[in-house]
Amino acid sequence: MGYVQGNENDGLAPVTSAWMHKLFEHSKTVESLIAEYGSPINIHHIPTFANKIDSFKDFFNKYDLRYQIFYARKANKCRSLVKQSFKSGIGVDTASYRELKQTLKLGGTSKNIILTSAIKTTSQINLAAKNNITIILDNQDECRMAQSIAKKLGKKVDVGIRISGFVVQGEKLYSRFGFDIDVAEKFVMDLIGQGKKFDRLVVKGLHFHLDGYSTFQRAKALSDLIFMANRLRTKGYPIDFIDIGGGILMNYLESESQWEQFKNNLKNAVKNGSEVLTFNGDGLGYQFISGKLQGTLQAYPYFNKIHELIFLKEIMEHKDENINYSNAERLKKQDLELRIEPGRSLLNQTGITIAKVIHRKMDAKGQWLIGLEMNMSQLKSSSRDFLLDPYILYKKEIKLEKPAVEVFFTGAYCLESDILLKRKVTLPMLPGNGDLIAFINTAGYMMHFFETEAHLFELSKNLVYMGTDGTPKKSDFLLDE
Ligand SMILES: *Cc1c(COP(=O)(O)O)cnc(C)c1O
């Protein structure tokens, strides 16, 4: 009975929501869900997602410009989130054949779907073209494919051109994606349009999606594309939108000082070869080589002051050198539609992952290892390690053990490296078999993006929760369909 946040003092306390706490208070319900659906389960709170969408809409409405938000569904597999996106009046960014096909089936149309895949197969382009979906083109071969498919279908296709290689403060931003900004405009003018090689393509917009999290780089890229859109329009191209992609920073943590403290402690631990902070002294990217601390933290920057709408505001209100108007004002004056494709940031606070404790053991170093029915691929992002403190849902009454117990959570893969959290977690009491461990804010990438079926483990089940006012009951949770 009762639940606690791991590392209650001096940890990395995640931002949590009321719906999560209400659920933890009714752990019997969670137990019955795990009993039915297996461990781990992913729970998605749809009202939170809907509220987040509304906050983004409110933000853009204040600028009084044309805009469209496309939820980047690659960040999470659930259909319910696609359905909610349409219900909330936003679009969906698809990045594979199956994402596109399923999104169409869920009610998407040419008005609210775009296709931005990194690799576009013939079947993808064919499906998009048949349904008049705008395709973001990345290279000349894609133009060729789109041209030939459009010709076969006897129609034209709307496209956006992905641009990269922006020069920011004298430095060119490399990307493997898109047309380089130095050649893109000439390419379009020489080859796309009436009487040209790609006469079936109608360039409706310009697009970028930048790596990293610099608002300045995005602001500069947007400014560059507003200029380019203008020049292309004067040549007769019906440029209607500029799409600035996703990558909007999100904040996961309650406290900046905890985050700074953690990074300092980690560096010191690596320098001193200490194992107090992480599993077997894992440096999480830092290494101590020939007397020097090297490497960088291999993790998402979990704390951010400039996140979500503040992040977007910096991009929108940026004024490029020698220009009297902000990006937002320029977009409005030139009647350009601004588009964004947020994945992770729209999913903030929407999901949690809960797993069951299967065994406890003390290793040869005297450390407690808590084995969960879950594996490392079910809590992973491209930026590697998940670092937030989990919540522990105890079946028994919590009795403070002295000293407090320190544990690591281990996973089901036959790999020494399957340590679900590399950070040591301090708890008031050793978890018992069948107790539940909840990982917070996992809906954006963490629960799905790298999940595999190694060992033939089944993929985790995805549940949707509408969050009623009363006590959460088992029947309030439905499989995502
Ligand atoms: C991944 C991706 C997104 C979404 O990025 P987030 O970081 O989840 O916001 C949007 N657009 C493109 C082209 C992408 O590759």
Kindly report the backbone phi and psi dihedral angles of residue 189, in degrees, each rounded to the nearest multiple of 5, phi listed first. -65, -35
Could you identify the atom of ligand 1 that is nearest to the CA of residue 248?
9
pLDDT for res 55? 98
pLDDT for res 384? 73
How remote is the CA of residue 463 from the centroid of ligand 1, in Å?
A: 24
- CA dist., res. 110 & res. 158, Å (int): 10
Residue 424 and residue 276 in contact, taking contact as beta carbons nearer than 8 Å: yes
Task: State the helix-helix crossing angle for 215-234 and 181-191, rounded to 10 degrees.
Answer: 20
Sequence length of the chain is 481
pLDDT for res 115? 98
How remote is the CA of residue 401 from the centroid of ligand 1, in Å?
A: 45
How remote is the CA of residue 248 from the centroid of ligand 1, in Å?
A: 9
Residues in contact with ligand 1 (CB, 6 Å cut-off): 72, 74-75, 93, 116, 209, 245-248, 341-345
Closest CA to 204 of 304, 101, 68, 299: 68
Closest CA to 376 of 282, 438, 450: 450
How remote is the CA of residue 111 from the centroid of ligand 1, in Å?
A: 19
Cα of 243 vs its chain's centroid, Å: 17
Kindly report the backbone phi and psi dihedral angles of residue 69, in degrees, each rounded to the nearest multiple of 5, phi listed first. -105, 130
* DSSP code string of 151-201: HHHTS-EEEEEEEE--EETTEE---SSSEEHHHHHHHHHHHBSTTSTBTTE
- CA dist., res. 436 & res. 31, Å (int): 8
Could you identify the atom of ligand 1 that is nearest to the CA of residue 74?
1
Closest CA to 441 of 2, 9, 109, 52: 52
pLDDT for res 137? 98
Ligand 1, atom 5: closest residue by C-alpha: 246
Copy the structure tokens of residue 187: 């390419």
- CA dist., res. 435 & res. 1, Å (int): 10
How remote is the CA of residue 95 from the centroid of ligand 1, in Å?
A: 9
pLDDT for res 60? 97
For 46, how many CA atoms within 13 A lie in the half-sphere containing its CB? Answer: 23
| Spatial CB neighbours of 475, under 8 Å, sequence gap ≥ 6 | none
| Pair type for strands 405-410 and 167-168 | unpaired
- CA dist., res. 419 & res. 384, Å (int): 12
Q: Which parts of the chain have pLDDT scores under 50?
A: none
Q: What is the dihedral of CA 433, 435, 440, 446, to 10 degrees?
A: 30
Probe target for ligand 1 pocket from 119, 209, 211, 315, with the most ligand atoms within 8 Å of CB: 209
- CA dist., res. 151 & res. 145, Å (int): 10
Could you identify the atom of ligand 1 that is nearest to the CA of residue 116?
13
How remote is the CA of residue 71 from the centroid of ligand 1, in Å?
A: 9
User: What ranges in 305-446 are assigned the alpha helix state H?
Assistant: 308-316, 327-333
Probe target for ligand 1 pocket from 341, 348, 350, 445, with the most ligand atoms within 8 Å of CB: 341
Could you identify the atom of ligand 1 that is nearest to the CA of residue 345?
9
pLDDT for res 1? 79
Could you identify the atom of ligand 1 that is nearest to the CA of residue 342?
9
Could you identify the atom of ligand 1 that is nearest to the CA of residue 136?
13
How remote is the CA of residue 152 from the centroid of ligand 1, in Å?
A: 31
- CA dist., res. 124 & res. 103, Å (int): 13
pLDDT for res 324? 94
Ligand 1, atom 3: closest residue by C-alpha: 246
